[in-house]
Amino acid sequence: MNDDLTLPTDAEFRILDVLWRRGPQTVRQVHDIVRDGWTVRYTTVLKILQNLHEKGLVSRDESARSHVYETTVAREWATNGMLEELADRVFEGSAAKLVMRALSSQQASKAELEEIRDLLDSLDGEG
């Protein structure tokens, strides 16, 4: 994880998710996408994108009248950092406690359980 960057807030993560899924977008485009599932004003989306730009999590192309924003970090960087923070804050730094709680609170499909088994097998082989 890049220690120079600050992890996104929940609202910032929602905006980043749009950019990860859709690629570079204007403020209007992002607002049109997120407003369907989230009551948010255009000016709030603009401010969040400005904050993300200040944090270095998005770049901004100012060559056109409508600025276009694009992520500068991978989804994996943000999710890994957020999981580390959650494990530290809630589960005493224990990845095992985090995983066990997640699996006991949410039903995993057979395919997901197989993926988890494969991951555990590969991790066990590394040890």
- Domain residue spans of the chain: 1-90, 94-127
Q: In the chain, pLDDT over 90 holds for what percent of residues? A: 56
Q: 56 and 72 in contact (C-beta within 8 Å)? A: yes
pLDDT at 3: 56
Q: 33 and 19 in contact (C-beta within 8 Å)? A: no
Q: How many CA atoms lie within 13 A of 83 on its CB side?
A: 15
Average pLDDT over residues 2-9: 76
Average pLDDT over residues 68-96: 91
Q: How far apart are CA 72 and CA 4, in angstroms?
A: 13
Q: In the chain, pLDDT over 70 holds for what percent of residues? A: 96
Task: Return the CATH fold of 1-90.
Answer: Arc Repressor Mutant, subunit A (1.10.10)
**Could you tell me how many helices (H) and strands (E) the chain has, helices first?**
6, 3
Whole-model pTM over 0.85: no
- Residue 48 Rama label (left phi>0; alpha psi -120 to 50; beta): alpha
Buried b (16+ CB within 10 A) or exposed e, 57-72: bbeeeeeeeeebbebb
Residue 43's identity, in one-letter code, is T
For 11-41, write each residue's pLDDT tens digit: 999 999 999 999 999 999 999 999 887 889 9
For 102-118, write each residue's pLDDT tens digit: 888 888 899 999 998 99
Confidence of residue 1 (pLDDT cuts 50, 70, 90): very low
